[in-house]
Amino acid sequence: MDTIEQSAALDPALIGGRDRAKFFRAERHDRLEGLTAAFRRHRYEPHTHDTYVVGIILAGCETWRLNGVRHYAGPGSLCFVNPGEVHDGEPAGEGYAYRMTYPSIDLLRSVAAEVTDRDDAAAPYFAACVVPDPQAARMFLDAHLKLEADPDGLAGEEALVEVYAHLLRRHARLDRPAGRLSAHGPAMRRVREFLDASLATDPDLGRLAELAGLSRDHLIRLFKRETGLTPHAYLMDARVREARRLLARGEAPADVALACGFFDQSHLNRCFKPRVGTAPGAYRRG
């Protein structure tokens, strides 16, 4: 398809003259979210997802930092981010256009079970975050267009399952990847769990250090090494992820702001768009 060939690199019809983003949701796919966007100026703050990120670049070039490495993706590139991985994102050059999906762990695990014919299939792991695969790029674009037109239709479901299965077979590890060993893992887990349960409050750094059994300075350094974020950045990211969940459920932005520990709706707006790509109201309408 022409829209994902190199000739689309600076196609103004795809990138457009201003930033734009549109979400849709497919209920039958574990509330799968899809995003169609083009950015000339928007820059994502470092953030994480509870889901995977799977998509393609249609035009231009996006750059982002993940696991300490700067990556670039141009037209036709497939992009992957695993759940919990800290990443940012911004235009490289004049802008970029892309289509993304955010499949849940359960959704991709279910496809992995079908691919491997194992009921106990592990959650897939994408070792490379940018890969060339023209066949998969065409399949993904076809599935995304069908889902956007009819999020819960059979045609979109068939196309989505087909492309996800293809991607898992060719680009994912379907065994259980070895996790990093860390002497401070349990302490950092206690801090993360405390922050996840404290979204509506503003925890004291001394309390977090006490939980970890570390000095405040040592906690900040170790926590960032383990998670990619400082404790405060992790808390803001967790608040935005919870706000995303509540907004998708249809709750009003003002109520969501209060429930998630933001000062007010304006504070939610300022923190939400740099991590999600669109304002809370527009995301809720999606």
Residue 214, SS3? coil
Q: What angle do CA 154, 133, 66 make, to 5 degrees?
A: 100
Mean pLDDT score across all residues of the chain: 90
Which of 173, 181, 203 lies closest to 191 in space, CA to CA?
203
| Domain coordinates in residue numbering, the chain | 2-171, 185-285
How large a percentage of the chain has pLDDT more than 90? 78
The beta strand positions in 125-191, using DSSP E, are 130-132
Task: Please report the pLDDT score of residue 57 as a whole number.
Answer: 97
Across the range 216-222, mean pLDDT stands at 91
Per-residue pLDDT of 86-113, as tens digits, reads 999 999 989 999 999 999 999 999 999 9
Token code pair at residue 101: 């999906």
Band the pLDDT of 28: cuts 50, 70, 90: confident
Per-residue pLDDT of 143-157, as tens digits, reads 999 999 999 899 999
How large a percentage of the chain has pLDDT more than 70? 92
Task: Please report the pLDDT score of residue 177 as a whole number.
Answer: 54
Across the range 174-185, mean pLDDT stands at 60
CA distance 124 to 224: 25
The beta strand positions in 104-154, using DSSP E, are 130-132
Which of 80-84, 171-175, 251-255 shows the lowest mean pLDDT across its residues?
171-175
CB atoms within 10 A of CB 57: 25
176 has a pLDDT exceeding 70: no
Distance (Å) of CA 48 to CA 86, 141, 148, 204: 5, 24, 24, 23
Task: Please report the pLDDT score of residue 178 as a whole number.
Answer: 47
The CATH fold assigned to 185-285 is Arc Repressor Mutant, subunit A (1.10.10)
Q: What is the pTM assigned to this prediction?
A: 0.86
Query: Would you say domain 2-171 falls under CATH 3.10.105.10?
Result: no
CA distance 242 to 14: 31
261 has a pLDDT exceeding 50: yes
User: Which of 23-27, 183-187, 239-243 has the highest average model confidence (pLDDT)?
Assistant: 239-243
CB atoms within 10 A of CB 215: 11
Which residue has better confidence, 10 or 213? Answer: 213
